[in-house]
């Protein structure tokens, strides 16, 4: 399937005012955005095009759907765009000044320090942990399957990816704290969603804010203990170790506990929820597309023949990778990315005044009808190498782009591939009938109310060598 170029989609004469949402309302698009953000953004782009201006309360905003517009903001002119937006202010309430939320020279320094922890070779060394923690989880799934019960696959994936990020990047097994962390993250997610929609100042002491503060305290305690153990002499060559050892080039000082806490909190949260959601959506899509599931299984059988996967195997599992990519097209865990405009600019011929908040939504762009024929259809063939090469680079941006693109991209891609390969060789999860699967766009895109699935055990394969005998 070839997608046409998106260049024909919009042509604006230079420096015009962008199309505006019709109608004058005191709060602009605030109530529609609040009621159903995915629908509002999708319909706005469908009706008004690739660059649309509107207000959200007092804030001047623009929705950018076109890949060229997204590339302009995230890559070509990225210096003109920062993270001084309400969404990032909300995140700063509990992430502080970590890698995701900080800016300028401070961010550059932190990114430089953290980067080696995400080097391809280093990530490959995490593969064994990723697979063995998945096998641990599957041992529990055996019991559930034996009893004919169902479980919440979204919750299972959260606990699994949290454990993996804890072990690999912080050398800590958070198995016992997984439920506490999970509930705290849900409370913070829900609070962030409310705070984002609210017209009250961020942090205004509503009951939801008080609950969120409590949740943040729980996470602070868990993270504080991790840092304290390391300060007390526990050694590990991991991301936390790198952050702790680094000295400021000018002052020679190491990072304060506060800075470390912000970085660890960021990795803890950014490093598990997104991947967990991407896996949950993939299990959902596979259970509703048996022909795709069959093909993934055939590939796994041919390449692995029943043995647990290793990092090197992923290159030999192209269809599995296509499935994950297509799942993140339809259900991008980071469903929206926003920026503040520093100085007046021009995007695709439209004027963008300083102070405009730019909304770029993978959910919306990944459904652009000129780039993705039959946009709602689940079709991993869209991600063959040839089909990918035929599309503009920013038609697909689940990990953002430019200097602020996801540092965990390679980590997440490998983790998702290994977990899927391990689970699917042992189980066939099926969606519990009657449970409505509805995307809930909080900070990340979750299935609302979880994803209850039953488990059908797959007969064990003979190892590859035996199979050929």
Binding residues (CB under 6 A) for ligand HEM: these are 99-100, 111, 165, 266-267, 270-271, 274-275, 278, 333-334, 337, 398-400, 404, 406-408, 411-412
Q: Which residue is nearest to ligand HEM (CB)?
A: 408
The distance of closest approach from Cβ of residue 107 to ligand HEM in the complex, given in angstroms and rounded to an integer, is 6
Instruction: Answer whether 45's CB lies under 8 Å from 74's CB.
Output: no
State the Cα–Cα distance between residues 133 and 113, nearest whole angstrom. 27
| Residue number with CB closer to ligand HEM (398 or 454) | 398
Report the residue number, 305 or 400, with the smaller CB distance to ligand HEM: 400
Query: For the stretch 141-178, what's the b/e string if a residue is b when 16 or more beta carbons lie within 10 angstroms of its beta carbon?
Result: beebbeeeebbbbbbbbbbbbbbbbbbbbbbbebeebb
Distance of closest approach, residue 63 Cβ to ligand HEM, in angstroms: 15
Which of 111, 393 has the CB closer to ligand HEM?
A: 111
Pairing of strands 350-352, 51-56: unpaired
Q: Which is nearer to ligand HEM, 327 or 422 (CB)?
A: 327
9/270 with CB nearer ligand HEM = 270
Contact 172, 456 (CB under 8 A): no
Instruction: Tell the smallest beta-carbon distance from residue 379 to ligand HEM (Å).
Output: 20
CB of 263 to ligand HEM, least distance (A): 8
User: Rounded CA gap, 349 and 51, in Å?
Assistant: 10
Give the Cα separation of 254 and 244 in Å (integer): 7
User: Least distance in Å: CB of 119 to ligand HEM?
Assistant: 13
- Distance from C-alpha of 437 to C-alpha of 287, rounded to nearest angstrom: 12
**Choice between 174 and 455, CB closer to ligand HEM:** 174
339 φ, ψ (degrees, to nearest 5): -145, 155
Of 270 and 420, nearer to ligand HEM (C-beta) is 270
CA nearest to 412, candidates 289, 267, 243: 267
Smallest distance from ligand HEM to CB 266, Å: 5
What sign does the dihedral 442-448-454-459 (CA atoms) show?
negative
Residue with the two structure tokens 């706005």: 44
In the bound complex, what is the minimum distance in angstroms from residue 468's beta carbon to ligand HEM? 35
* Cβ distance to ligand HEM smaller for residue 21 or 91: 91
Shorter beta-carbon distance to ligand HEM: residue 363 or 372: 363
Smallest distance, ligand HEM to C-beta of residue 22, A:
30
Assess contact for 36 and 50: CB atoms under 8 A.
Answer: no
- Nearer to ligand HEM (CB atom), residue 21 or residue 360: 360
Q: How far is the CB of 367 from ligand HEM (least distance, A)?
A: 16
From the CB of 11, what's the least distance to ligand HEM, in Å?
Answer: 27
């Amino acid at each position: 399937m070839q997608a046409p170029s998106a260049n024909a989609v919009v042509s604006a004469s230079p420096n015009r005012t962008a199309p505006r949402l019709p109608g004058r309302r005191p709060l602009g698009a605030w109530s529609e955005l609040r009621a159903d953000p995915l629908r509002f953004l999708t319909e706005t782009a469908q009706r008004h095009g690739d660059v649309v201006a509107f207000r959200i309360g007092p804030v001047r905003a623009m929705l950018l759907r076109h890949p060229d517009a997204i590339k302009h903001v995230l890559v070509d002119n990225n210096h003109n765009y920062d993270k001084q937006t309400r969404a990032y202010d909300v995140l700063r309430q509990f992430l502080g000044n970590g890698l995701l939320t900080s800016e300028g020279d401070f961010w550059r320094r932190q990114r430089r320090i953290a980067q080696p922890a995400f080097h391809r070779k280093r990530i490959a060394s995490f593969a064994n942990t990723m697979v063995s923690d998945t096998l641990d989880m599957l041992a529990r799934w055996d019991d559930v399957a034996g009893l004919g019960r169902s479980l919440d696959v979204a919750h299972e994936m959260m606990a699994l990816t949290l454990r993996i990020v804890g072990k690999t990047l912080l050398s800590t097994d958070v198995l016992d704290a997984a439920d506490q962390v999970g509930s705290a993250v849900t409370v913070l997610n829900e609070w962030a969603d409310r705070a984002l929609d609210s017209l009250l100042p961020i942090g205004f002491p509503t009951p939801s804010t008080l609950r969120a503060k409590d949740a943040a305290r729980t996470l602070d305690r868990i993270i504080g203990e991790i840092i304290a153990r390391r300060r007390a002499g526990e050694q590990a060559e991991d991301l936390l170790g790198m952050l702790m050892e680094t000295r400021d080039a000018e002052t020679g000082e190491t990072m304060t506990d506060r800075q470390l806490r912000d970085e660890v909190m960021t990795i803890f949260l950014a490093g598990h929820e997104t991947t967990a959601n991407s896996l949950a959506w993939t299990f959902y899509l596979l259970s509703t597309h048996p022909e795709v599931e069959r093909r993934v299984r055939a590939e796994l059988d041919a390449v692995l023949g029943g043995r647990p996967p290793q990092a090197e195997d992923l290159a030999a599992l192209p269809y599995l990778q296509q499935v994950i990519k297509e799942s993140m097209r339809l259900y991008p865990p980071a469903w929206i990315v926003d920026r503040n405009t520093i100085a007046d600019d021009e995007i695709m011929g439209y004027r963008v005044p300083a102070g405009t908040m730019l909304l770029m939504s993978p959910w919306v762009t990944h459904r652009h009808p000129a780039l993705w024929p039959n946009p709602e259809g689940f079709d991993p063939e869209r991600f063959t190498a040839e089909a990918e090469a035929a599309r503009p680079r920013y038609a697909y941006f689940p990990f953002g782009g430019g200097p602020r693109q996801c540092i965990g991209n390679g980590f997440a891609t490998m983790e998702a591939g290994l977990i899927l390969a391990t689970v699917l060789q042992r189980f066939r999860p099926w969606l519990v009938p009657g449970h409505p699967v509805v995307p809930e766009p909080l900070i990340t895109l979750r299935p609302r109310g979880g994803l209850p699935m039953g488990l059908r055990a797959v007969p064990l394969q003979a190892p590859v060598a035996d199979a050929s005998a």
